[in-house]
Amino acid sequence: MLAIPRYPAWFLLPLLAAAGCGAKTDLDRIDAAPPDVPLPTDELCNGLNDDFDQDDQVDEDFRDELGRYIDDRHCGVCGHDCDVAVEHATDTACLLVGEAPTCGARACEAGWTPSDTGRCVPWDAHLCLPCLDDGDCGGFPEAACARLGGEARCSVTCDGADAACPDGYLCDEGLCEPPGNSCSCDPGEFFTVSCNLELPDGTDCLGTAVCEDGALSDCTGAEEICDGRDDDCDGDIDEGYRDERDQYTLDVHNCGACGVDCTETELPDGDLVCGGDPYGPRCVLLCAEATDGIDVGDHLDADLIIGNGCECLVGNLVDDAGPVHAVGEDLDVDCDGADGDVPNSLYVAPDGDDANPGSPLYPLATIADGVRRAYESLAGELPTPDVFVAAGTYVELVRVRDGVRLHGGYRNDFLGLEPDSFVTQVVAPDASDGPGGAALVLEDGAGTTPTVVEGIHFRGTDAPAPGLPAFGAFFRATGPRLALRNLEIRSGQGGAGNHGAFGAAGAAPTIAAAAGDPPREAVEGSLHDCLPEVANIVRGGAGGSNTCEGADVAGGAGGAAACPVFSAVQPSGTPGRAGPGGALGGMAGAGGWDCEGPTEGFPCPVEVCCGLADFTVPLEYELAGDGGHGGNGGPGTAGTGCADAMGDLAGETWTPATATAGTTGRPGGGGGGGGAGGGAQMTWYTTVCPYPDGLGGGGGGGGAGGCGGLGGTPGTSGAPSIGIVFVAGATPAAPTLENVRILTGDGGIGGRGGGGGDGGLGALGGAGGEVPREERTTPPLAGPSSGGPGGKGGNGGPGGGGGGGCGGPAVGVWALLGGAPDPGIAAAVAAGATVVPGHGGRGGRGGPGAAPGGDGTDGVVTDVVVE
């Protein structure tokens, strides 16, 4: 198959344009192209795209991926041939020097080597010159700045054969070195020179090397002496004088510090050796019986007093803590200066310092730091699980970890153990973050391995706020090998409950009842008759308004008087609204009767008597009636007192049972509206009695009822005081108790319930409409009667009193097993502990009122609760 060559687009387009449908194109006749059309060729270095490649690349066969000309015949630019003379070069090439193409030496004559600048440089020109790095040594690949005879000197690399090195040099571990490995030690010379050794931490150490007749020894450190320096350059200071605790105990001539020589003091009865406190060594009396090793029955100098000699009789080589009541060598049975294995124990005293090592003479200040160090040491080479604590008061929270053994009750020299006399007391700080303000906390598996707490009095803090519990100690997920001995654990005072709030008084009506309009003359027509229109309606007063609990307890409206008709009765008022809960609304006042005037005949001495009292009334005549008063609302119901004083304990959180609030009193009913007053129907006499009818007064509106008083809120419960809270882990285990006293504070007092609020007062009714006596100057104003007054609204009922909160319980041990089997908590307490509970908190009294709230239950007192 014939391969068709590729052509650039500009070459093909004219041919394609000339092609017709169904005709042969010029592509078929490409070999016959005119001679003036260029054809593709092999790429040349000329700045043109000779091979017509699709990417239109130029000179791509002579350039690298960055476009640099790196061909030996075209170095840097086209036509620059590297077949040029380079001094001492045997072969040249296009090299990259500083990232730029440059003609340089690829191989050099013997004794010369190509440098990184493309020149031939002498092989040995820089040998043995001082240097800082390889760049100081000639700038060719084999150049190396190396340590020769403890000095930084120039060398060259070699392949293991001496022939690869310049004359007079030997190949040693890949480097060409002068005989004797020194550039400064020549044959016939004998001297000592200083040199540097590199320590493991990268720093230099001053050493020495010896030149002997051209051979320089290795750089070595000096012999280590006690001077606080690394003389032998091995990275350690004063090794051979310091023990594993970094204390100067190993050399009698440097005891406790360099230069303290125990042999310089002469004693008539013996010599001094280095001993005493492992963290404060000093010169002590050498006891003859200890020279062949320490055995039971030997006498040692335990008190470090030279004057009384070797006073302590070794009773046992193992010195565990105790026994209680022991003093001196009865306590320090191994005669090492304190109870316990002094080198492998920690000691705490009130006058200590947490910067100290924690020895009997240099104790720590806090138990917490001692426990921390003891726990961290358990994973190291020198475990120190025992922490001994001298008498005193320590204000701190103690968290004991697994495997730590904590012993208190010691004299300040740790040579007397009497917990009742040398009282070691731990008091939780007020701002303690321990659960329930506990002074002692054990959790996270403490007791999985032997863990001991003994000889200490722990006192938790009082609850810092109402309703919070107080714990003496808190144990969570402890193991089966926890032992508590000769302890006193006391919890603080449980938090009191909060008192309930008194209910607010019920709302009084905000809109008062209105008075009725006063009597007035009627508007009459041409025939002197009272016209039945609005102008002749005497308005009764509107009832007062109030809304209680969404219910309308408004007063009734007063009756409105109209045109009088002799012996007729005017309208009555409307009744008041009843209150929800049974309070009745006030009854409506009846309307008054109408009279007539003037009088004629007997007993009038003239034909017509038209005076201010000349009226005729019907036999049953009555004035307008008053509106009835609304009924008072009933009281609210009383709140119930808290019944479950124990509440619920979940871990370190205690939730109380609750009392209930009193309910709101019932609203009073609205007062009834007063009746309309009777009018006076007048007969018109043009001459002797020219007066219109008189209209009666409007009835007064009834007053609105008052709202019920709100109920008192309940008091909250007092919180418990608990000696020990025990929260079981996945596999519950009871601790071993021996002579443990568990005391609790009192439970918190329950909060009082709040009293019920007073009921709101019902409003007074409005006055009936009337004309003052002095203004009754005409018969139409003198004859009508006044409207009846509105009735008073009923008072709201008082709210019920809130219930009282429970008193907090006092519990010796409260164990939470979470449904797991009981490991015998109660039995362990009964066998090894004495529980002295405080008092249960008094239950809060119910809130006062017409319906007083119920009292809360008093707090209970119990030794052990297991649930």
What is the per-residue pLDDT across 241-286, written as a single tens digit (0 to 9) for each? 998 888 998 998 999 899 899 888 877 677 888 888 888 888 888 8
Domain range list for the chain: 315-490
- Between 27 and 732, the more confident residue is 732
In tens, the pLDDT along 711-732 reads: 999 999 999 999 999 999 989 9
Contact 319, 334 (CB under 8 A): yes
Amino acid code (one letter) for 372: R
Has residue 20 got a pLDDT over 70?
no
Place 40 in a pLDDT band, splitting at 50, 70 and 90.
confident
Three-state secondary structure string covering 246-310: CCECCCCCCCCCCCCCHHHCCECCECEEEECCCCCCEEEECCHHHCCCCCCCCEECCCCCHHHCC
Has residue 5 got a pLDDT over 60?
no
Model pLDDT, residue 35: 55
Point out the least confidently predicted range of 395-409, 605-619, 621-635. Answer: 605-619
* Alpha helix segments (H runs only) across 507-590: none
In CATH terms, the fold of domain 315-490 is Pectate Lyase C-like (2.160.20)
Long-range pairs of 204-208 with CB within 8 A, sequence gap ≥ 24: 205/230, 205/233, 206/233, 207/150, 207/233
Q: Which two tokens stand for residue 124?
A: 């040995």
Model pLDDT, residue 290: 85
Rounded mean pLDDT of 163-176? 79
Has residue 818 got a pLDDT over 50?
yes
| CA angle 233–237–241, rounded 5-degree value | 125
Place 22 in a pLDDT band, splitting at 50, 70 and 90.
very low
CB atoms < 10 A from the CB of 276, how many? 23
Amino acid code (one letter) for 722: I
Point out the least confidently predicted range of 187-201, 223-237, 465-479, 807-821. Answer: 187-201
Model pLDDT, residue 76: 84
pTM for the predicted model, two decimal places: 0.69
Q: Which of 22-26, 33-37, 580-584, 802-806 has the highest mean pLDDT?
A: 802-806
Rounded mean pLDDT of 664-676? 98
Contact 729, 476 (CB under 8 A): yes
Rounded mean pLDDT of 211-235? 83
Of 751, 808, 722, the residue nearest 492 (C-alpha): 722
Model pLDDT, residue 231: 86
Point out the least confidently predicted range of 141-150, 336-345, 828-837. Answer: 141-150
Has residue 1 got a pLDDT over 50?
no
Rounded mean pLDDT of 40-57? 79
Q: Is 81 helix (H, G, I), strand (E, B) or coil?
A: coil
Model pLDDT, residue 7: 39
Amino acid code (one letter) for 824: G
Has residue 10 got a pLDDT over 50?
no
Host H or E run for residue 184: none
Query: In whole angstroms, what is the distance from residue 708 CA to residue 699 CA?
Result: 28
- The b-or-e profile of 297-326 (16+ CB within 10 A means b, else e) is ebbbbbbeeeeeebbbbbeeeebebbebeb
Q: Which of 20-24, 146-150, 170-174 has the highest mean pLDDT?
A: 170-174
| CA angle 724–729–733, rounded 5-degree value | 70
Cis peptide before 278 (omega within 30 of 0): no
Rounded mean pLDDT of 544-550? 95
Model pLDDT, residue 4: 34
Rounded mean pLDDT of 70-87? 85
Place 147 in a pLDDT band, splitting at 50, 70 and 90.
confident
Place 163 in a pLDDT band, splitting at 50, 70 and 90.
low
Has residue 195 got a pLDDT over 80?
no
Query: In whole angstroms, what is the distance from residue 222 CA to residue 192 CA?
Result: 12
Model pLDDT, residue 667: 98
Has residue 64 got a pLDDT over 90?
no
Place 650 in a pLDDT band, splitting at 50, 70 and 90.
very high
Point out the least confidently predicted range of 6-20, 79-93, 526-540, 628-642. Answer: 6-20
Model pLDDT, residue 162: 66
**Cα torsion for 463, 466, 468, 473, to the nearest 10°?**
10
Length of the chain: 867
In tens, the pLDDT along 747-796 reads: 999 999 999 999 999 999 999 999 999 999 999 999 999 999 999 999 99
Rounded mean pLDDT of 191-196? 74
Q: Could you give the percent of the chain with pLDDT greater than 90?
A: 64
Task: Map tokens 């239109």 to a residue.
Answer: 56
Place 36 in a pLDDT band, splitting at 50, 70 and 90.
low
Place 2 in a pLDDT band, splitting at 50, 70 and 90.
very low
Three-state secondary structure string covering 644-690: CCCCEEECCEEECCCCCCCCCCCCCCCCCCCCCCCCEEECCECCCEC
Amino acid code (one letter) for 191: F
Point out the least confidently predicted range of 34-48, 126-140, 555-569, 728-742. Answer: 34-48
Mean confidence (pLDDT) of the chain: 90
Model pLDDT, residue 37: 58
Q: Which two tokens stand for residue 428?
A: 């939780």
Model pLDDT, residue 17: 36
Contact 669, 579 (CB under 8 A): yes
Cα–Cα distances in angstroms (integers) from residue 136 to residues 133, 145, 166, 341, 717, in the given order: 6, 7, 18, 61, 86
Q: Which two tokens stand for residue 126?
A: 């820089």
Rounded mean pLDDT of 162-184? 78
Model pLDDT, residue 9: 38
Q: Is 60 helix (H, G, I), strand (E, B) or coil?
A: helix
Model pLDDT, residue 203: 83
Model pLDDT, residue 574: 98
Rounded mean pLDDT of 200-207? 81
Model pLDDT, residue 15: 34
Model pLDDT, residue 492: 97
Model pLDDT, residue 315: 94
CB atoms < 10 A from the CB of 612, how many? 13
Q: Which two tokens stand for residue 573?
A: 């008022």
- Between 38 and 445, the more confident residue is 445
Has residue 31 got a pLDDT over 60?
no
In tens, the pLDDT along 412-437 reads: 999 999 999 999 999 999 988 899 99
- Between 244 and 36, the more confident residue is 244
Positive/negative CA dihedral, 758, 762, 763, 767: negative
Query: In whole angstroms, what is the distance from residue 557 CA to residue 511 CA?
Result: 13
